[in-house]
Chains A and B, each alone.
Chain A
Amino acid sequence: MTFSPELEARFAKMLQSYPPGRTRSAVVPMLLYGQDEVGYVSQELVEEVARRCGVTPLQVDEVIGYYSMLHRARLGKYHVQVCTNIACQALGGEQLYEHASRTLGLGNKDVSPDGLISLEEVECMGACSWAPAIQINYDFHHLVTPERFDRLMESLRDGSYGRKAS
């Protein structure tokens, strides 16, 4: 299994960053970066990470269920994560999640039939002072009102969504 040249370079550097004999340390980072490229943690990815880190596929497999960002099934192209933890809750995070669920027609961790959008109710993402907050893939969006949420979803659908975090 090969990855993009950028990711191959990252993996090569990663494997050298841990002390001698400690390449197992790269398992979790490799899974997460690999998932970003493959779309999900496939069995092929598990075996590839195991081979590169010098561990058994079982040792890779056993960590996957522990980390909430690692997914065994394909997410949407845009994974929309809505925080409802206490700081966001205080400013309408739960209502925002309900709005998202209703307007997208998706339950927690569901993926839209066209594979474009998936939705997840998440725990604190570190944007408490600018609540309510969401993340689309790795991009933060602060102070998100239902109206602003709708505009963001529209930009995902019409392809105008930019990389710029706000």
Chain B
Amino acid sequence: MRYNEPSDLEVRVISQRFDLPNSTSIDTYLANEGYVAIRKALGMTAEAIIEELKVSSLRGRGGAGFPTGMKWSFVPRNSGKPTYIICNSDESEPGTCKDRLLMENDPHQLIEGMLIAGWTIKSNKGYIFIRGEYRYLIEIVDRAIAEAYERGYLGQNILGSGWDFDLYTHTGAGAYECGEESALLESLEGKRGVPRLKPPFPAVVGAFQSPTILNNTETYSSVPVIFRNGGAWFAGLGTPKNGGTRLMCISGHVNKPGVYELPMGFPMMRLINEVCGGMRNGKKLKAVIPGGSSAPVLTAAECENLPLDFDSLAKLKSMAGSGGLVVLDEDTDIVAVALRTIKFYAHESCGWCIPCREGTTWLKKLLTRFHEGGGTERDIDTIGELASNMLGRTFCALGDAAAMPTTGFITKFRSEFEEYLKKSQGRVQPAPELINV
């Protein structure tokens, strides 16, 4: 089911079946263009499939926005090793709640997307890595997988092609870090989810040390429609190099928060004012965290005339990330948001790389003291310095994901930090563990 009313401004492409009765059943899927794309793809060569994906300009919906066609093209064929198709359904980026809906409402669309990936590299096995908290979705996806086996869309000699493909779900057990692709692969092997040194990338050395296509739930779910309607059609929905639509998850201080499917490049202020019914209680917009909590915050001024696509947000040194937008009004305490953000990363840092493990912990301590009214002028710069020393110095992006938003908060909202200082003047009490910073 959907948990919010749809908007008339939505362009329903990958969510087109969400409101159908029994939308998870294979019969509903088949009656609504389901498994048409895999039939087409089975008549295509790997090169043609990848070319079609490149034309579609589909980019990874998990956060990095890497072109999907290019990612698939990196997988060596004829390596002599088995190959794997992995779906990252470990949705945990704060602000993001879309993969949940894709699995809950249209699991066959995801399965079909993974089938097309499997056929492209002639893989025989795939896994859907679902975060542990999403137990009810494992039940839904398992039922869909069983139906697909019964009807010959999974298993041996799929649709008479002579090609076999098995698909399984795999549960996580609570770890944001497992959404990082190499940590996910470690976790899938039954280990602690710590990241691997890259290169080699998963395309070459991935699951079980073999070539692997690893994409986000929404990315795979976007694949079938590309093969039904054509890559050019899909590309035309969005902006240049940002094809298609995406499920945008809006939370925070708007009248109608929700998950809405909108074309890439949809204007931020129309999203807030028209799709989401404007700001709550007539308050003014202060800031938006535009792509999950890893994305540096945008000021209200930056949101004006801003198309929501990967490149436009990168120009502002932020990112479209996972499509989770947290909208904050004028009453928001930015220091409190910065603190809650860094608490999260400190909790989720896996401890593998020292700059991340120590950096997030120190940032948490500094921001905690600041929030409690014990900050000093020097702390603001120390926070910035610590964050910049984490950037690019870790195996995976978690360190960056903690440092970038922190830098964003203190540079764009420095005056709010300074206000805190004024309020706390004369009662500066350095926490004991911070005395010798």
Do A25 and B170 contact each other (CB < 8 Å), given the known contacts A19-B208, A62-B192, A86-B95?
yes
Q: Is B376 an interface residue (CB 8 A)?
A: no
Q: Is B222 an interface residue (CB 8 A)?
A: no
CB contacts (< 8 Å) of B170 on chain A: these are 17, 25, 29
Residues in B231-259 with C-beta less than 8 Å from chain A: 249-253, 257-259
Q: Is A105 an interface residue (CB 8 A)?
A: no
Q: Is A31 an interface residue (CB 8 A)?
A: yes
B251 to chain A, nearest CB (A): 4
B336 to A89, Cβ gap below 8 A? yes
**A128–B193 alpha-carbon span in the complex (Å):** 24
A105 to chain B, nearest CB (A): 24
Do A89 and B340 contact each other (CB < 8 Å), given the known contacts A55-B190, A123-B348, A124-B95?
yes
Do A28 and B97 contact each other (CB < 8 Å), given the known contacts A67-B175, A131-B251?
no
Indicate which residue in B4, B91, B341, B347 contacts A126 across the interface (CB closer than 8 Å): B91
**A59–B189 alpha-carbon span in the complex (Å):** 12
Do A126 and B100 contact each other (CB < 8 Å), given the known contacts A28-B187, A55-B190, A67-B174?
yes
B133 to A126, Cβ gap below 8 A? yes
The residue in chain B whose Cβ has the minimal distance to the Cβ of A125 is B133
Q: Which listed segment binds A: B25-33, B109-117, B266-274, B324-332?
A: B324-332
A99 to chain B, nearest CB (A): 17
Contact with B along A121-148 (1 / 0, CB 8 A): 0011111111100010011101000000
**A129–B2 alpha-carbon span in the complex (Å):** 11
CB contacts (< 8 Å) of B341 on chain A: these are 86
A64 to chain B, nearest CB (A): 9
A53 to B168, Cβ gap below 8 A? no
Indicate which residue in A29, A69, A86, A142 contacts B293 across the interface (CB closer than 8 Å): A86
Q: Is A27 an interface residue (CB 8 A)?
A: yes
The residue in chain B whose Cβ has the minimal distance to the Cβ of A94 is B340
**A156–B250 alpha-carbon span in the complex (Å):** 31
Indicate which residue in A24, A55, A68, A124 contacts B94 across the interface (CB closer than 8 Å): A124
Number of A positions contacting B (CB below 8 A): 45
CB contacts (< 8 Å) of A106 on chain B: these are none
Q: Is A38 an interface residue (CB 8 A)?
A: no
Contact with A along B176-194 (1 / 0, CB 8 A): 1000000000011111110
Do A128 and B289 contact each other (CB < 8 Å), given the known contacts A25-B188, A25-B189, A123-B348?
no
B133 to A128, Cβ gap below 8 A? no
A28 to B172, Cβ gap below 8 A? yes
The residue in chain B whose Cβ has the minimal distance to the Cβ of A166 is B3
B253 to A90, Cβ gap below 8 A? yes
A53, A63, A126, most chain B CB atoms within 10 A: A126
B329 to chain A, nearest CB (A): 8
A85 to B172, Cβ gap below 8 A? no
Residues in B303-347 with C-beta less than 8 Å from chain A: 324, 326-328, 332, 336-337, 340-341, 344, 347
A148 to chain B, nearest CB (A): 15
Given A32-B173, A124-B293, A126-B96, 13 additional A-B pairs, CB 8 A:
A28-B172, A67-B193, A85-B344, A86-B293, A86-B344, A87-B251, A89-B340, A128-B95, A129-B250, A130-B258, A138-B136, A142-B3, A165-B136
Where the two chains meet, the residues of A that have a C-beta atom closer than 8 Å to any C-beta of B are 17, 19, 22, 24-29, 31-33, 53, 55, 59, 62-63, 66-70, 84-87, 89-91, 94, 123-131, 135, 138-140, 142, 165
Q: Could you list some 28 contacts between A and B, CB below 8 A? A: A17-B127, A17-B166, A19-B208, A28-B171, A28-B173, A29-B171, A59-B190, A66-B192, A67-B174, A67-B193, A70-B173, A85-B340, A85-B344, A86-B95, A86-B293, A86-B344, A87-B324, A89-B336, A89-B340, A90-B253, A123-B344, A123-B347, A126-B99, A128-B249, A129-B249, A129-B257, A129-B258, A130-B97
